[in-house]
Amino acid sequence: MSRLMRLLMMGYCLTTVLVPVFILNKLFFLPLFLTSLMLMISKPVKTLAPLIVLLIFLYGFVLSFSGDSDFALGRQMLLGGFSLFLVYVIINYNVNMGAALKVSGVTLALIMCSLSFMLMVVPGFFLADLMLDYYNSNELGYYGVRNFGNLQLFMLHHRSSPFLLVPLSLFFLDYLKERKSLTLIFIAVILAAVVCSASRALMAMAVVSLFILYFNHKSWPLRILMLMAITPLALFVIGYLLAETSVLSSDEQSNNIKIGHVISFFNVADWSMLLFGKGLGSYFYTEGYGSVVSQTEITWMDSVRFVGIPFSLLLLSAILFPVRKIFASPELRPTGIVMVLYLLMSMSNPVLFNSFGFLVILWYWSVIIKGKNDVVLVKLPREEL
């Protein structure tokens, strides 16, 4: 039974990350969810966090019927909340979520890098065109060239690309503990996929994550030397980005859109919305898009619109519980660092309240409840999930 649950969880993670728009992950989800319900009834519940999140989403869903809302988005968020109950299967059957996320991340990165290589090096190759047609017709992401002033980047952005931050960090932690060349190769592949995604938030958080995790791994004398070396380099990079690119410019299209979202949010904010919200998927006009929308790229601003400030804070608390325990433990601290960075990335990207975002939350919860990180990667093909 344990082996079956681990295989099902691996299948669920892979299909959720690779083909999130298909029904395939639902086929893996159903037996896992039913098993979770039986475990909730038959065994002591180790955490109420999934129930808290679901009840907040249910409140927002019911509230959405009182106004003009995107019913499909509200239903998607509500149903997605049920996936968090899989934490009971993960804990009771000792599923190694770290391994599941690493395998899923490497698989996604290999696909992205392979397709990117074929499109750039052998344009017109039938296999590349076939994969790209499949990619576009199923709306799995975006393909093209992204401009930042004088800086141009090739872009193959899969829907689940932001998820790569977590497996990248986990492989890096493995490498810090056991200097395996295979692990280093996986890190390089994921980093290449991160660059191919052309996502500024993902690329920035990937660099920050690797630096902070390495910083946390070293002693204080080495940390001081690292800060002395990195500070001028960081200032140089920021200066270059400001002078030679539009990455940090308010006139850059994506930045301008986000600024428009924030301005529009404060234009419609009132005490009722701030306290109680307007419901999941509630519509509002944003200057960013110049149209009425139900969701923006700024996750926590949308959360306030949907369920209000009090429930948004409760939602954040349920996701992060108990953060003091995490940062007080040297073994668990890296997990807290990665989760906080992922939450920071969600400040400007919709990467949390969706299928792959819930996988990240499940991984984080599993580490907290177990009170330890899973065994480091040694031989990936034989690693037990």
pLDDT, one tens digit per residue, over 195-218 is 888 888 899 999 999 999 999 988
What is the model's pLDDT at position 9? Answer: 95
Q: What pLDDT band is residue 183 in, cutting at 50, 70 and 90?
A: very high
The residue type found at 384 is E
What is the model's pLDDT at position 145? Answer: 62
pTM for the structure as a whole = 0.89
User: Which residues neighbour 345 within 8 Å (Cβ) at sequence distance 6 or greater?
Assistant: 162, 165, 201, 202, 205, 351
Strand partners, 282: 69
CA-nearest of 13, 167, 105, 91 to 365 is 91
Helix (H, G, I), strand (E, B) or coil at 289: coil
Helix (H, G, I), strand (E, B) or coil at 284: strand
- Which tens digits make up the pLDDT trace of 98-124? 999 999 999 999 988 888 887 777 766
Distance CA 24, CA 8 (A): 12
Confirm if 132 and 145 have CB atoms less than 8 A apart: no
What is the model's pLDDT at position 376? Answer: 43
In degrees, to the nearest 5, what angle opens at C-alpha 350 toward C-alphas 373 and 342?
25
CA-nearest of 245, 241, 268, 246 to 256 is 246
The residue type found at 60 is G
What's the mean pLDDT in 247-261?
A: 77
Strand partners, 284: 293
The residue type found at 192 is A
Token representation of residue 71: 């019913």
What is the model's pLDDT at position 375? Answer: 45
Q: How many residues can be counted in the chain?
A: 385
- Which tens digits make up the pLDDT trace of 321-351? 766 667 677 788 899 999 999 999 988 888 9
What's the mean pLDDT in 230-241?
A: 82
